């Protein structure tokens, strides 16, 4: 279903690599470009009302947008701070449970400091799906197993497969009271960046397809064959993001 897409991704990655190493100016411009894009799209998927232009104003000028919820501003600033953490973690080339807790804390501490960076203590339900996340007392065990499997799978899976599965599995565990999707998308991008792939953005216009693919993968959360739906979708998003990244490289060059 997605194996041919991985071949196309590898071919495009080779073309991208021809532009490397990048100079410091190009790296800086690309980093700031994706700060806005990733912050806006990831928040918009979850219902944040700030437009891309408004997100840029909030982050670059520190100005609040009239008529918009304070919560939406906090989410934008928190996502930007997580973005900086993302680049620090890229250098480590490893992912730990502590890293995931840090990612969530930066996003959530302005909204609910007592729950930021901490696993949920209650049962939650996800609207629009029959999938029920595991009970809260199972989360520490599931997260420890998740990290262990993540570091094992990276030895035998294509990077894009690994990033997609990590995203799906984290959302399925649903370890936090809120912000699980945003944390999972950042984790996915951390895995991609650690392996020299460009940041992958899921546009808000693809929200229905994104959720549908995730729901199909969660039909039987521990059956690997169901992962193919979500991996297939993420392959499409990676490929489109690669094309955009290549366009930017050509423009900057």
**Cα distance between residue 222 and residue 230, in whole Å:** 14
pLDDT in tens, 105-152: 998 999 999 999 999 999 998 887 788 899 999 999 999 999 999 988
Report phi then psi at 50, rounded to 5.
Answer: -70, 135
Q: Are 248 and 31 in contact (CB under 8 A)?
A: no
Residue tagged active-site, from 73, 158, 167, 174: 174
pLDDT in tens, 199-242: 999 999 999 999 999 988 887 555 555 688 899 999 999 999 99
- Quote the percentage of the chain above a pLDDT of 70: 97
3-state secondary structure of 162: helix
CATH code that applies to domain 3-252 = 1.10.3290.10
Q: Are 252 and 18 in contact (CB under 8 A)?
A: no
The one-character DSSP state at 201 is -
Q: Are 80 and 35 in contact (CB under 8 A)?
A: yes
Active site residue 174: yes
Q: Are 57 and 63 in contact (CB under 8 A)?
A: yes
pLDDT in tens, 21-75: 999 999 999 999 999 999 999 999 999 999 999 999 999 999 999 999 999 999 9
Q: Are 188 and 202 in contact (CB under 8 A)?
A: no
Q: Where are the domains of the chain?
A: 3-252
């Amino acid at each position: 279903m997605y194996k041919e897409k991985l071949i196309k991704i590898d071919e495009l990655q080779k073309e991208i690599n021809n532009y490397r190493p990048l100079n410091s100016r190009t790296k800086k411009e690309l980093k700031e470009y994706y700060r806005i894009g990733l912050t806006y799209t990831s928040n918009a998927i979850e219902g944040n009302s700030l437009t891309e232009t408004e997100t840029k104003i909030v982050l670059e000028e520190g100005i609040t947008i009239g008529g918009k919820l304070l919560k939406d501003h906090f989410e934008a600033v928190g996502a930007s701070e997580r973005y900086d953490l993302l680049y620090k973690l890229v250098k480590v080339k490893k992912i730990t449970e502590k890293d995931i807790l840090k990612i969530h804390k930066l996003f959530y501490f302005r909204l609910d400091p007592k729950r930021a960076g901490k696993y949920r203590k209650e049962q939650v339900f996800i609207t629009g799906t029959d999938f029920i996340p595991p009970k809260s007392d199972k989360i520490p065990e599931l997260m420890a197993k998740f990290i262990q499997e993540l570091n094992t799978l990276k030895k035998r899976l294509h990077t894009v497969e690994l990033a997609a599965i990590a995203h799906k599995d984290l959302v399925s565990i649903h370890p936090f009271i809120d912000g699980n999707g945003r944390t999972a998308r950042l984790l996915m991008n951390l895995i991609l960046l650690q392996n020299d792939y460009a940041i992958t953005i899921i546009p808000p216009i693809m929200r229905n397809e994104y959720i549908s693919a995730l729901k199909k993968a969660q039909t039987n959360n521990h059956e690997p064959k169901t992962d193919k739906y979500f991996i297939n979708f993420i392959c499409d998003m990676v490929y489109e993001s690669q094309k955009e990244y290549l366009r930017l490289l050509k423009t900057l060059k």
